[in-house]
Amino acid sequence: MNDTSNNPRPSNFIRQIIDADLASGKNGSRVATRFPPEPNGYLHIGHAKSIVLNFGIAQDYHGTCNLRFDDTNPAKEDIEYVESIKQDVQWLGFKWTHLYYASDYFDKLYDFALQLIKLGKAYVCDLSFEQMREYRGTLTQPGKDSPYRNRSVAENLGLFDRMRKGEFPDGSRVLRAKIDMASPNINLRDPTIYRIKKDAEHHQTGSKWCIYPMYDYAHCLSDMLEGITHSLCTLEFEDHRPLYDWVLDVLKAPCHPQQIEFSRLNLEYTVMSKRKLTELVQKKLVDGWNDPRMPTIAGLRRRGFTPESIRDFCLRIGVTKADNIVEMSLLEDCIRNDLNERAIRRMAVLHPLKVLITNYPYDKVERLTAANHPQKAEFGNREIAFCAEIFIDRNDFMESPPKGFKRLIPGGEVRLRYGYVIRCDEVIKDAGGTVQELHCSYDAATLGTNPVGRKVAGVIHWVSARHAIRAKLRLYDRLFIVPNPDVQGSRENKDYTAYLNPDSLHINSVAVLEPALANAKPQDRFQFEREGYFCLDEQSPDGAPLVFNRTVTLRDTWAKSDK
RNA sequence: UGGGGUGUCGCCAAGCGGUAAGGCACUGGAUUUUGAUUCCAGCAUACCUAGGUUCGAAUCCUAGCACCCCAGCCA
């Protein structure tokens, strides 16, 4: 197969850091990473970049990689997301060393908070949300100390204990790290590390806790507790690194993971923020998280993408700190490249036009042999029925063709793929002038061999009208009509949904397919010759009409030309 | 006007002081019973700008410029 995951992974600046650490004997020559999603949505291809990075490094350096759910905010999380994330990581082809939840550490995290208080490095603050914002200052002005900043250790201990016991309402008090209200880095202006959430039912810990740690506090300690050596995250956390280090330093942590930031993936014609993807789902602008138009792993899977192609994509885009927006053509190349190698070929006519072969015995049926893959004999052959009535695609016939048109024209010849050469003798039209049917004649001497004395340039696909099966085809196009809905939206002061592509899904219910497709199984992938790669929808129920999703079209240099 | 980042071909991205990898896209051409695949060729005297150091700079220094992130009791 065409699995690039077996190829050496390209290096990047993070691997260079690890190489240097290994060379200097840091971390006892151990490499431990983790992939830490919050279960508040489905994974998308941006997460795949992080997954391939983290798990790939663990594989290549003979290290470990944990899957850890960063589940510190029960209000936004759900067990459905936990399950989908596990499934998606596995589907991508990775095995975690350990499965953890940040909530596994809630007891330890609480004890560390007690330590912080005893060290005089944390205090309970009674400021309201609004007051807190005022006291924080602005980007250019320093903040000012909270009036509660200098409470005694005993008072802080007592208050924090009562917070834990549920004696105070949500929002009334928080535990804050005591760092520096005048820091030019806003994240260091006494950040909140614990807040009260009394009525949230946590998907893992139930109602055991009514206070929950904040990301900045929980993440570094979780990394530490797992003995992570390299904590890889995206660029927006760069400003948080001093806080990450502060917590571990103050607590004199026995292990201090190194946080390294890389830029997140942006893909043209889609959005990648979980907030926006959630909105698309909730407002039913798409048909759920696994809608094949979504950049989610579940969506790409349903669209027909292979795990190999997504891994390949993640390797090809690289890992840097530069802002980027990757063209869709790269992702398309990855899936075409993989499917070209492994997809069985079939014929499907999307816009059927009836053709009567007038000189072929009307009642005769012939079985022709067609290769399942033109370059791979080991894929075997299948038989296709041929008779006097067939369907070809309307797009393969033109009465007044542009220059260079190689398909069927009145009086012209074309090769039927894996069949005979036919000539169009007569065009039958209805009263409105629409072509209804073509009357053609076939050349019996052209099966498997070229006619002598003349060249037939075109080859078109077809199916027997008497044997064809019907199916529903879902033809997908880009979700948005502009390359960068986020940027365009803020520039034009519009919501990104204003750029949704109204034609991102086209349903074709008239397509006719060769009968061999009847026993396709959900997720089976095919190349419909000259059309594209399709996969049987995972939700096609047994017995119901087949539904195929178009993964991607074939490259089409003819359609691209000006003609 | 604060802090943190980033700037190499249309897009991604190597390069780490010795004279601009690679992939995608694009453009030619060959082969082809998929206008697919495959193959072959082309595609940055140039690295945000301006100075400087050096025999030599995308790489070092200085000063600018542009863009991204940060003022959640989100992650």
Q: Collapsing DSSP states into helix, strand and coil, what is residue A5?
A: helix
Strand locations in A256-395, DSSP E? 258-262, 344-346, 348-349, 352-357, 366-371, 381-386, 389-393
- What Å value separates CA A234 and C1' B62? 31
Token pair for A410: 């009145």
Distance (Å, rounded) from C-alpha A360 to C-alpha A439? 11
Range 109-168, chain A: CB under 7 Å to any strand B atom: 127-129, 132-133, 136, 138-140
Lowest-confidence range among A108-117, A125-134, A491-500? A491-500
Does any strand B atom come closer than 7 Å to the Cβ of A103? Answer: no
Same domain flag for A498 and A484: yes
Cα Rg of chain A (Å, integer)? 31
- Average pLDDT (A8-24) is 93
Burial class of residue A548 in the structure, from the number of CB atoms within 10 Å of its CB (0-12 exposed, 13-18 middle, 19+ buried): buried
| C1' of nucleotide B24: residue with nearest CA | A330
Distance (Å, rounded) from C-alpha A177 to C-alpha A117? 9
Same domain flag for A456 and A473: no
Q: What is the pLDDT of residues A342-351, one digit of tens each?
A: 999 999 999 9
pLDDT level of residue A5 (50, 70, 90 thresholds): very low
- What Å value separates CA A217 and C1' B21? 42
A204 falls within a domain? yes
DSSP H or E stretch at residue A428: strand A421-429
A289 φ, ψ (degrees, to nearest 5):
-65, -30
Same domain flag for A321 and A369: no
Report yes or no: A255 and A224 within 8 Å, Cβ to Cβ: yes
Same domain flag for A312 and A394: no
A302 falls within a domain? no
Q: Which residues contact A30 (CB under 8 A, 6 or more apart)?
A: A63, A227, A229
Q: What integer pLDDT is reported at residue A542 of this predicted model?
A: 67
- Check pLDDT > 80 for residue A390: yes
Does any strand B atom come closer than 7 Å to the Cβ of A34? Answer: no
Same domain flag for A432 and A499: no
Single out the residue of A500, A475, A471 nearest to residue A552, CA to CA.
A475
Distance (Å, rounded) from C-alpha A159 to C-alpha A153? 10
A5 falls within a domain? no
Q: Collapsing DSSP states into helix, strand and coil, what is residue A115?
A: helix
CATH number of the domain bearing residue A400:
2.40.240.10
A321, closest nucleotide (Cα–C1'): B6
Same domain flag for A138 and A206: yes
Position with higher pLDDT, A10 vs A64: A64
Same domain flag for A56 and A144: no
Does any strand B atom come closer than 7 Å to the Cβ of A418? Answer: yes
Range 56-95, chain A: CB under 7 Å to any strand B atom: 70, 72-73, 76
Same domain flag for A447 and A368: yes
Same domain flag for A210 and A110: yes
Count how many domains chain A has. 4
A457, closest nucleotide (Cα–C1'): B33
Nucleotides of B under 7 A from a protein CB: 1-8, 10-16, 22-27, 33-38, 67-75
Single out the residue of A504, A523, A532 nearest to residue A393, CA to CA.
A532
DSSP H or E stretch at residue A334: helix A328-342
Q: What integer pLDDT is reported at residue A7 of this predicted model?
A: 55
Q: What is the pLDDT of residues A417-463, one digit of tens each?
A: 999 999 999 999 999 999 999 999 999 999 999 998 899 999 999 99
A301 falls within a domain? no
Burial class of residue A6 in the structure, from the number of CB atoms within 10 Å of its CB (0-12 exposed, 13-18 middle, 19+ buried): exposed
A299 falls within a domain? no
Same domain flag for A98 and A225: yes
- Average pLDDT (A49-63) is 98
Start-to-end C-alpha separation, chain A: 37
Q: What integer pLDDT is reported at residue A184 of this predicted model?
A: 97
A297 falls within a domain? no
Report yes or no: A496 and A481 within 8 Å, Cβ to Cβ: no
Q: What is the pLDDT of residues A494-527, one digit of tens each?
A: 999 999 999 999 999 999 999 999 999 999 999 9
Domain boundary among A460, A482, A509: A460
Bridge partners (DSSP) listed for residue A465? none
Same domain flag for A224 and A98: yes
A229 falls within a domain? yes
Q: What integer pLDDT is reported at residue A544 of this predicted model?
A: 75
A241, closest nucleotide (Cα–C1'): B4
pLDDT level of residue A8 (50, 70, 90 thresholds): low
Q: Which residues contact A266 (CB under 8 A, 6 or more apart)?
A: A46, A272, A323, A324, A325, A326, A484
DSSP structure class, residue A48: H
Q: Collapsing DSSP states into helix, strand and coil, what is residue A176?
A: strand
Examine the predicted complex and report whether its ipTM is higher than 0.90: yes
Domain boundary among A190, A215, A240: A215
Does any strand B atom come closer than 7 Å to the Cβ of A370? Answer: no
pLDDT level of residue A4 (50, 70, 90 thresholds): very low
A11, closest nucleotide (Cα–C1'): B14
Q: What integer pLDDT is reported at residue A2 of this predicted model?
A: 34
DSSP structure class, residue A450: P
Strands A505-508 and A469-476: antiparallel
- What Å value separates CA A386 and C1' B34? 19
Range 335-364, chain A: CB under 7 Å to any strand B atom: 336-337, 340, 345
Q: What integer pLDDT is reported at residue A384 of this predicted model?
A: 97
CATH number of the domain bearing residue A149:
3.90.800.10
pLDDT level of residue A3 (50, 70, 90 thresholds): very low
Range 170-209, chain A: CB under 7 Å to any strand B atom: 170-174, 184-187, 191-192, 195-196
What's the domain range around A159?
106-215
Query: What is the residue whose two structure tokens read 């192609």?
Result: A309
DSSP string, A214-244: -HHHHHHHHHHHTT-SEEEEEGGGGGGHHHH
- What Å value separates CA A140 and C1' B50? 30
Same domain flag for A363 and A455: yes
A557 falls within a domain? no
Q: What is the pLDDT of residues A233-248, one digit of tens each?
A: 999 999 999 999 999 9
CATH number of the domain bearing residue A251:
3.40.50.620
